[in-house]
Amino acid sequence: MSLVSLLILLAALMASSVILLLVLAAIWWFDRYDREPLHIVAAVFGWGALIAPPVAITALSVFGSALVSSARSDTLLFIWVMGAAPVVEELVKAVGVLLVVVLTAEFDNPTDGVVYGTAVGLGFAVTENAIYGLSAAAGGAYDGLGVLIVVGGRTLLTAGVHAVCSATFGGFLGRAILSRNRRGRVSLTVMGLLAAILLHTTWNLALFFFGAAGENGLPRAWLALLPLLYGVFVAVLAAFLRSEHRILKTQLEEEVDLGLAPAWVPEVIPYYRRRIRPDWWPVRSERTVIARLLTRLAFRKHALGRLPADRGAVASLEIVKLRQRVREIFEPRSESDEY
């Protein structure tokens, strides 16, 4: 590998990583009603970048070597090559999202699943880009421009597919945690994993049979389907956010009817632009705390009716504590101080 190729590779990988991090930041920012803690999003991204790739590579190497030594047909080997990578990679990425559910109380709904799924998928893509870029440069088959094309192409195409596949699983998992019974939770989780694997497998097969570029180096026409896929991703995220808006408004209106919150609350908190204005509460740091508190209360109430009895009892206690904090904030203030 020449020095020029190495410098181009490092520059390409840095630019690629920055672009993917900006995409993740945008997805996190769009979750404007109940943004996930950045340290948890970063941890999930780290799982995708640092833990999932070596685990996937090791598993594929071990089982692949065993299959090569025992395979009796090229067909079986082809099925392994095309099908094993999506299964293994989506499994190890899914573990990173599942750990958020197991280890934290921050995973509340499908939008959260999309955010965490995108994080683990883009983290995986960052490391995979580095692996493929280094392999292309070290193999000597590509010059500096060729390495740049490899990394850039993977950033624009494969990285997005990784994010969409993992986000699909995350969305299903978000639905699963709201299910009232164990069978529903397991079924939705498995369906989400299978959907992610199917999307990934379809991408691999399309690349194998059609290729990303023709003989003249121009992109294949079928790649025009990718913007459609990304458009569906954005549309689904927007639908989830719209659903969150309705949940907030409905649940906070109930709090007003119960006399537990001022009348202006459902006219401010469910609307991002109104919520960030200073006219409903003068101190910015307090506005942030109040908005998060009311948002958490609304989502916990919404989830309560869908939770099984054991988890519902815990959620009920949390709702009582949240309401008490809301009363402590609003009761000392007179009517003249309200919005």
Q: Are residues 196 and 49 in the same domain?
A: yes
Instruction: Identify whether the C-beta of residue 28 lies closer than 8 Å to the C-beta of residue 156.
Output: no
Q: Are residues 121 and 194 in the same domain?
A: yes
Q: Are residues 186 and 268 in the same domain?
A: no
Confidence of residue 97 (pLDDT cuts 50, 70, 90): very high
pTM: 0.85
Measured distance CA(24)–CA(163) in Å, rounded: 9
Q: Are residues 147 and 53 in the same domain?
A: yes
Q: Are residues 176 and 256 in the same domain?
A: no
Specify the pLDDT at position 1: 60
Q: Tell me which residue of 49, 33, 67, 177 sits closest to 121, measured CA to CA.
A: 49
Q: Are residues 148 and 271 in the same domain?
A: no
Three-state DSSP class for residue 331: coil
Within a domain: 154? yes
**Percent of the chain predicted with pLDDT > 70:** 88
Q: Are residues 291 and 159 in the same domain?
A: no
Within a domain: 114? yes
Q: Count how many domains the chain has.
A: 2
Within a domain: 310? yes
> Which of the listed residues 188, 212, 236 is the one where a domain comes to its end?
212
Mean pLDDT value of segment 310-328: 85
Q: Are residues 272 and 185 in the same domain?
A: no
Domain that holds residue 163: 3-212
pLDDT higher than 90, residue 300? no
For residue range 152-197, list pLDDT tens digits in order. Answer: 888 988 899 999 999 999 999 998 987 777 888 899 999 999 999 9
Residues 221-252: b if buried by 16+ CB within 10 A, e if exposed: eebeebeeeeeebeebbeebbeebeebbbebb
- Structure tokens belonging to residue 137: 């440069």
Within a domain: 234? no
Residues 18-56: b if buried by 16+ CB within 10 A, e if exposed: ebbbebbeebbebbbbbbbeeebbebbbebbbebbbebb
Q: Are residues 283 and 192 in the same domain?
A: no
Confidence of residue 60 (pLDDT cuts 50, 70, 90): confident
Q: Are residues 200 and 251 in the same domain?
A: no
Confidence of residue 102 (pLDDT cuts 50, 70, 90): very high
**Which long-range contacts link 13-16 to residues 24+ away (Cβ below 8 Å)?**
13/129, 13/130, 13/133, 13/151, 16/126, 16/129, 16/151, 16/152, 16/154, 16/155, 16/159
Place of tokens 């309705």: 246
